[in-house]
Structure 1
């Protein structure tokens, strides 16, 4: 017995002394076994797709949890897009009766109750989501109010497979002033559903389709969560085992000021209502609303979009609570309310292009600020091969001898014909102009012919023509007349309103053309991350030449006979330029239809904002100018954050 005691004591001593060479190996084996057991428990209790009902009392299922979508606010924090509690009617294919008459009867009752086609229901019941998870609800009707949900729930009572459940819905600023900017959300597009599900969306997810909602989808969406639940064989939830909570999306803060936005919207609406268009073929002026218009206000230093209006617009809430017919009507409306005319559409800019032609002429040595050109109301050019053929390029008025300042102030067409294309007499070029290719190069330097980089989808590029372009696209040689019309912003040249606004900001901002952006930054968890300012183009112009062009624009707005005087707000000196671009074929009386443009920046001494206005079938001085004046008046009388920014 004493011997046994001594042996046990020796063993204890060996353990405590750590002299047994097998001890580390034994400890590692024990730890490995424990680790395997822990992993198996986690796998079986949390991650296993199926756990025997005898063990847990039901069938475990992973239920995805959508993250609350982030808010969209204006620059002052006014909420423009929020989440509101709504309801949806859903179909759970796994709860339908088996194939046969009971199943057909259930689907028929659901179709009648929700007023949807039986074939659509049958398709939902056999969709991809029904195959992957037959107990995952398939949305049939979204965006129902509480009262609607009560009525629908009563109509669906007792029908297997039919549910009414809460479903967050998007609610937008109701006036439609920002519909094009905000965009909207919708169900996953069918052609993208497979790839989006692979990214973590469910087939019931909502996704941004247009505007900020789609451009900043990743920031707004957040991180989805999931719940592990026990369900009975019919798919009814019995118990929640665990949850991985969703993380809400970030809030997107726009650069838009809602107060200025509403003022710009009202100004454009009045410009449309008060517009005078010419009814053909009588050629007699008559009051009638113009069909459409748009306006943009930029911060010339940062490129922030302070206001952005396109009319006609639409109510984005239609996509959440409207009928299928109401949604379809938006896309078939001949007025095209879904098109944002500030950046999705391009037109000939007309005379608002002349400041860039002037800068190009100065930098290329074609003119100086003092160069005088005679404008007798038209420019006549004889065909170099047949002098009996005469081409007449008209001006809108007789101007006499004008220098650069006066040419910009009075928008003298003949001056810019010659700066662009030169002057020919007796078959010889007596005044050498820029030529089409050099003018096109300057247009591209300024950012035309490509998107500005605006942070919204679907931006148009426009066209900068030159001799090679015409040969390739039109299949014809470039003519002198093409260069003349190019020099006054017409012919084949097309630009968007946003491009013209950016150019105006660049002229005001020492030749640096900013990249416009509608989002000021992202707020997440109390931390605000601003969108950086970017320069889209740097005009290689001297300060003296830039000052000469800005002086001409100041005269256009400040002189009593300046063509841009209609856009000047009280008490503020601005630089401006009008444009009235002819388009289409002339009527029998020789008159063309026109679009009206206006660009301007303010104040002249220390520019802060640029404004650009466009009215379809309008006139720049008569229609677009007063709209710009009203917008500038609103800016300089605005209280609050916008005033502080000045």
Structure 2
């Protein structure tokens, strides 16, 4: 067995892991092992440096990927947006407001015009962006212009900060004021002085209820407009508020245009790159005769003042078309006061005035008709064969039913009465009889009477092209039972037959009823607008007469009633009209209201009696007798019209 020398160092011929040599209780590296490690293995320093290089390489690769992704995002994804933003900073789209159409009467006389005035304001997008800087800027503007800073802040609350729309701070400036502001702010692109049109009404109070007025778009109106499909408005525009201005807003406004305007870095306008011109609004041509309108208003207003009543209304229609020749509400107001923004004190004065100048009596006033409804029931009775022209009723002063007495207006009565005398002298007993009947006579009854009243246009809106029309009211058995908890009595029918009780009519309804009698039974839809006109004053559209119902009763029934209404002029309560050059047919009325035996004064009539060209209805509130208060107003209208 070979003995190994524990102290002998054996040569190491194996390269790889270091070979240990055991010496007593320790191990040592051989020289060869150490040499091999020095020659082929990395040092600790080298290992650390390698790891650092790897980390740096990964970081660099990550940043390169991130940069590549960001370039891709900016160029391809957001590129179009940024290009648009840059383009928007260079090109501004400006709205071009259309010229609003005007209104003419039937003879081509202008009733409203557009006048130029100046407005001062700012472009919100051109103001400084930072809130404190913007506040200081506005404060400086306010001091320079002499306008409270609150006025600037108020209009900017309504606009978006980036809006390029002109925000009006002060309007209705004259030329001198406008030029002064323009000079003061000539170096400030955010401030502008612009020309803006304003409505000016030429007819005064006589036309205000018909034409209405324009005014700034309110917040409520803007909410409705901006959500509509055909929104073409800017918030600083005006809009029709009442009357024809409101009804025909879309037609008269026109269509806005657009202009692409190049601006420089200072946001100053350089040039117009492209423009789409605005389309002017259409003009309205009315059936209205402005001279007749002014005459009737003057007469009605004078009557109200002379009699110290609350008001009056007049409606004149063309019986052959339904065209409105005149429509008067007295007293009235000046619509120019509303165009520029009415003061609170003046508005308070108008709404608290006991004469109610803002109230459109002609279409919304509801009154008992009094005896002016009698011709309607005469037509109904003739049409139904209840009476003939020869049928007579004995008037002895009234009719007694049990303990109730229904009187004639003349004590002792009118004697033997046929239909001509009944209308000419307004004999109540005759109409009690043909309406409600007696023990020996079958009348129409409430149901047929109501049916005919509706056929003539009572008890509902006529469809006139004005807002605010009221329907009036026709009582019935069912209504009385449901509302008052009472049965319908024959006395209710008697009251209805002479235009009293719960019956309510409007002046325009009574004018329509009168026109229907005049033309022999055709019910037209009343209308103010006859045609539309383009900006070159050429007719673009004619409004054809609209027939609601035709031949609502026998022609001979209408002829008898027309003859009876002529007799009212030749020998009855309307005899004042005999002096007029052409034959006039008419009927006066006195309608009780309230609890103090007060009466409204009524008159209805038409002329000439054959082929009538005008039908008139007049009411004077609390005016007393129809022949004394209402008839003279109509007389002035007939005289003017028949002289033409």
| 1:130 and 2:160 are equivalent in the alignment | yes
Aligned position for 1:171: 200
- For residues 6-45 of structure 1, give each alpha carbon's deviation from its aligned partner in whole angstroms, at most 9, with x where no partner exists: xxxxxxxxxxxxxxxxxxxxxxxxxxxxxxxxxxxxxxxx
| Alpha-carbon contact 1:567-1:627 (below 8 Å) kept | no
| Alpha-carbon contact 1:227-1:242 (below 8 Å) kept | yes
Structure 1 residues 380-459: aligned runs within 5 Å? 380-382=400-402, 390-397=403-410, 398-423=413-438, 429-459=439-469
Q: 1:148 to 1:328 in 2, by over 3 A?
A: farther
Task: Using the TM superposition, give the Cα deviation of residue 224 of structure 1 relative to its aligned residue in structure 2, in angstroms.
Answer: 0.9
| Alpha-carbon contact 2:581-2:642 (below 8 Å) kept | no
| 1:495 and 2:495 are equivalent in the alignment | no
Structure 1 residues 496-645: aligned runs within 5 Å? 496-524=506-534, 525=536, 526-559=538-571, 562-586=572-596, 592-618=597-623, 619-637=625-643, 643=644
| 1:139 and 2:203 are equivalent in the alignment | no
Aligned residue for 2:259, secondary structure, equals strand
| 1:219 and 2:244 are equivalent in the alignment | no
Structure 1 residues 171-250: aligned runs within 5 Å? 171-197=200-226, 198=228, 199-232=231-264, 235-250=267-282
Aligned position for 2:60: none
- For residues 506-541 of structure 1, give each alpha carbon's deviation from its aligned partner in whole angstroms, at most 9, with x where no partner exists: 101011122111111011252442110112233532
Structure 1 residues 196-345: aligned runs within 5 Å? 196-197=225-226, 198=228, 199-232=231-264, 235-275=267-307, 289-325=308-344, 326-327=346-347, 329-345=349-365
Gaps of 5+ in 1: 1-46, 276-288, 383-389, 424-428, 587-591, 638-642
| Alpha-carbon contact 2:531-2:539 (below 8 Å) kept | no
Deviates more, 1:472-481 or 1:484-493: 472-481
**How far apart in 2 are the matches of 1:621 and 1:273?**
18
Aligned residue for 1:521, secondary structure, equals strand
| Alpha-carbon contact 1:446-1:503 (below 8 Å) kept | yes
| Alpha-carbon contact 1:49-1:60 (below 8 Å) kept | no
Q: 1:114 to 1:355 in 2, by over 3 A?
A: farther
**How far apart in 1 are the matches of 2:423 and 2:241?**
43
Gaps of 5+ in 2: 1-79
**How far apart in 2 are the matches of 1:101 and 1:264?**
61
| Alpha-carbon contact 2:204-2:335 (below 8 Å) kept | no
Task: Give the count of matched residue pairs.
Answer: 555
**How far apart in 1 are the matches of 2:169 and 2:184?**
14
Aligned position for 2:105: 74
Report the TM-score, using the length of structure 2 for normalisation.
0.80
Q: 1:146 to 1:96 in 2, by over 3 A?
A: same
Q: 1:537 to 1:136 in 2, by over 3 A?
A: same
Match of 2:115 among 65, 75, 84: 84
Q: 1:153 to 1:583 in 2, by over 3 A?
A: farther
Match of 1:378 among 373, 392, 398: 398
Aligned residue for 1:611, secondary structure, equals strand
**How far apart in 2 are the matches of 1:582 and 1:48?**
75
**How far apart in 2 are the matches of 1:539 and 1:259?**
33
| Alpha-carbon contact 1:267-1:631 (below 8 Å) kept | no
Structure 1 residues 22-171: aligned runs within 5 Å? 51=84, 58-97=89-128, 98-100=130-132, 103=135, 106=138, 110=142, 118=150, 121-127=152-158, 129-131=159-161, 133-149=162-178, 163-171=192-200
**How far apart in 2 are the matches of 1:520 and 1:137?**
37
Q: 1:105 to 1:490 in 2, by over 3 A?
A: farther
Report the TM-score, using the length of structure 1 for normalisation.
0.80
| Alpha-carbon contact 2:620-2:630 (below 8 Å) kept | yes
- For residues 208-248 of structure 1, give each alpha carbon's deviation from its aligned partner in whole angstroms, at most 9, with x where no partner exists: 11111121122211111011112356654233211101011
**How far apart in 1 are the matches of 2:533 and 2:450?**
42
Q: 1:332 to 1:130 in 2, by over 3 A?
A: farther
Aligned residue for 1:85, secondary structure, equals strand
Q: 1:174 to 1:438 in 2, by over 3 A?
A: closer
Structure 1 residues 461-476: aligned runs within 5 Å? 461-476=471-486
Q: 1:150 to 1:508 in 2, by over 3 A?
A: same
**How far apart in 1 are the matches of 2:259 and 2:630?**
57
Task: Using the TM superposition, give the Cα deviation of residue 351 of structure 1 relative to its aligned residue in structure 2, in angstroms.
Answer: 0.8
**Greater gyration radius:** 2
| Alpha-carbon contact 1:314-1:337 (below 8 Å) kept | yes
| Alpha-carbon contact 1:569-1:632 (below 8 Å) kept | no
Task: Using the TM superposition, give the Cα deviation of residue 367 of structure 1 relative to its aligned residue in structure 2, in angstroms.
Answer: 2.0
Aligned residue for 1:90, secondary structure, equals strand
Aligned position for 1:479: 489
Q: 1:146 to 1:417 in 2, by over 3 A?
A: farther
Q: 1:501 to 1:110 in 2, by over 3 A?
A: farther
Q: 1:240 to 1:109 in 2, by over 3 A?
A: closer
**How far apart in 2 are the matches of 1:597 and 1:107?**
62
Deviates more, 1:248-257 or 1:528-537: 528-537
- For residues 347-380 of structure 1, give each alpha carbon's deviation from its aligned partner in whole angstroms, at most 9, with x where no partner exists: 1111111101111122223222222222223322
Q: 1:154 to 1:60 in 2, by over 3 A?
A: closer
